[in-house]
Amino acid sequence: MAFSNQDKPSPLGPPGTGGRPSTWRVVLILVVGVLAVSTGAIWVRLALGLLGGSGDLAVTLVMAAARLTVAALLLSGNWRRIPRQATRRQFAGAALSGLFLALHFAAWISSLSYTSIAASTTLVTTTPLWVALISWLALGERLSLRTCLGMAIALGGGGLIASGEMENAVAGSQPLLGNGLALLGAWIISLHLLLGRKVQQEGLGLTPYITITYTVAALLLLPLPWLLGGGYGGYPPLFYGYLLLMGLLPQLLGHTSLNWALRWLSPTWVTLAVLLEPVAASGLGFLVFAEVPGLEVLLGGLVVLTGVAIAVLGGRETGGDRDQ
């Protein structure tokens, strides 16, 4: 979910003016982006299923590295233009953002080995809460009462999810660890988003930004499976097909579509749209794996998403889109 406030657009202005696309086109691409991102957990679970249903850290890092490597390779043609588009400061910022992106995927993909798709995708989608909290602590941005209320509601929902996952844990699962990794992924991606927003506000365009970020993240992750005694060979052929799909759909199509939508819609509306990701991912989890979350998990997910929505809208009301 690489959201960056590259421009300061309001919701769509008159279509066809200033190069603006039509409303239906932006909404369609935003929906496609959310659906594409929602498939990420499914490809991970299908890949893990080929290996017996769970993976060690080396396997997790193989999937994270492959996802980003596929996207980086498809963007590699942009490198020859980057020296003319990025200052050293912008390049360093985008590279550091890539480090946070690599850590995010290592944590979040690992969470899917230990907890349900519904819990993992709901908790990792709490990112706007942590962006607001970090902005308050590190940047001095003001938090509205509504934003604080939304945070409190979301944290309560997170407690329900944790309780429900513990009660319905199956043999071999570690829901507390999985939920913790999903939350860790949300915290880390918050740093990625804040840094990405800053770099793009300083003038670096979307294409050079994602090219640098995806490439750095891939390069950081690629050697780690070997260092942990694993590698990239010896998996079933279908496993590599799932790796390719991870890079093409949730990463390149999904994240890039969301970033593109931010050029024409405010970050508030894009953030709210992304709250549909856990709903779509859970629906796909039911269709593909017949995975039915427990009542507490479903209720907790609803409470979390409600809290995030309240917090996002509260930030918009008091600080405009700069708080997102």
What pLDDT is attached to residue 166? 64
Quick: pLDDT tens for 182-198: 999 999 988 888 888 88
Report the distance separating Cα 162 and Cα 153, nearest Å.
14
Does residue 74 register a pLDDT over 70? Answer: yes
pLDDT tens-digit profile of 273-287?
877 888 888 889 889
Does the structure show a pLDDT above 90 at 142?
A: no
Domain ranges of the chain: 23-323
Report the C-alpha gap between 55 and 61 in whole angstroms.
10
Q: How far apart are CA 158 and CA 244, in angstroms?
A: 32
Residue 210 has pLDDT above 80, yes or no: yes
**Quick one: pLDDT at residue 248?**
95
3-state secondary structure of 177: helix
Q: What's residue 64's pLDDT? A: 94
Per-residue pLDDT tens for 34-61? Answer: 999 999 999 999 999 898 866 688 898 9
Nearest alpha-carbon partner for 94 in 272, 324, 259 = 259
- Kindly report the length of the chain: 324
Task: Tell me the C-alpha distance between 297 and 293, whole Å.
Answer: 6
Q: Do residues 106 and 64 make contact, with C-beta atoms less than 8 angstroms apart?
A: yes
Weakest mean pLDDT among 26-40, 138-152, 176-190 = 138-152
Mean confidence (pLDDT) of the chain: 82
